[in-house]
Amino acid sequence: MSDIQKVLDFIVEIEKLKDVHRKTRPVGLERYENSAEHSWHVCLAALMLKDSANQPVNIDRVIKMLLIHDLGEVDAGDTIIYASETPELKKKEQAGLARIFALLPEGQAEQYLSLWLEFEAGETADSKFAKAIDRVPPLLHNLHGDGHSWKENKVPKEKVFAVNRRIAEGSQSLWSLLEKKLNQAVEEGILK
C-alpha cells in the first residue's frame, strides 16, 4: 500500500472523532459539542492566547498537540473533566492512539504518540499551556449557557474551582480573568 493511501485511511479513520460527544453545548447551540470541532476550537484559542502563557511556548508544537490530543477518544470515548481519569481509561486512550497512528506510513507514529504523552504528563511549558487552553471552551460554554453542564453533571462549585485552577499552571493571567468570571457566576447563582 502506498504511503499516501495509508494517510487516506488515517484521514477516514480519525473522522470518527466527529461522532464523539462531549458534555457541553457550544454557545447558542442546542446539541452537544463533538471532539473534532472542539479540537479545532482549542487550536485557534491557543494561537490567539499564546502571549498569555506563563513561559514562552512553541505555538506550532502546542497546535499539533491540540490537533491530536483527543484522538484516543475514538476508541475510549469522552470523559468529562470533572470525572476521575482512571489509569484504565488513560491506557485505553493510549491504546486507541497507538492503533490509529499505526495506520500512518512507517516511522510516523512515534513522534505523535510521544507528543500526546507529553501533553498528558503536562510537565513542559508547551503541554502546560495546551492543557490550560483545553479547559477554556467548556468554561465559556457554561458561563454563556446558564451553567448547563455543571448542573446536568451535578458538579459543585468547589470542584469547578479546584479543577480549573490548574489553568494557572499554563497561564496565570488567563486564570485570573476566568476566576473572576466564575466568582461572578457563583454570585448570579449559575454555579452552586
**Which spans of this chain sit near a second copy (rule: CB under 8 A)?**
2-5, 7-8, 10-12, 14-19, 26-29, 33-34, 36-37, 39-41, 43-45, 47-49, 51-52, 60, 63-64, 67-68, 104, 108, 136-137, 140, 144, 173-174, 177
> Nearer to a second copy by C-beta: 27 or 83?
27
Contact 17, 93 (CB under 8 A): no
> Nearer to a second copy by C-beta: 121 or 177?
177
> Nearer to a second copy by C-beta: 138 or 150?
138
- Cβ neighbours for 92, distance < 8 A, ≥ 6 positions apart: 72, 75, 76
Least distance in angstroms from the C-beta of 154 to a second copy: 25
Contact 146, 29 (CB under 8 A): no
CA 6, CA 165: separation in Å to the nearest integer? 41
Length of the chain: 192
Q: What's the half-sphere exposure (Cβ side, CA atoms, 13 Å) at 166?
A: 18
> Nearer to a second copy by C-beta: 86 or 128?
128
Least distance in angstroms from the C-beta of 84 to a second copy: 27
Least distance in angstroms from the C-beta of 94 to a second copy: 18
Cell numbers at 124, concatenated: 513542559
DSSP, collapsed to helix, strand or coil, labels residue 34 as: strand
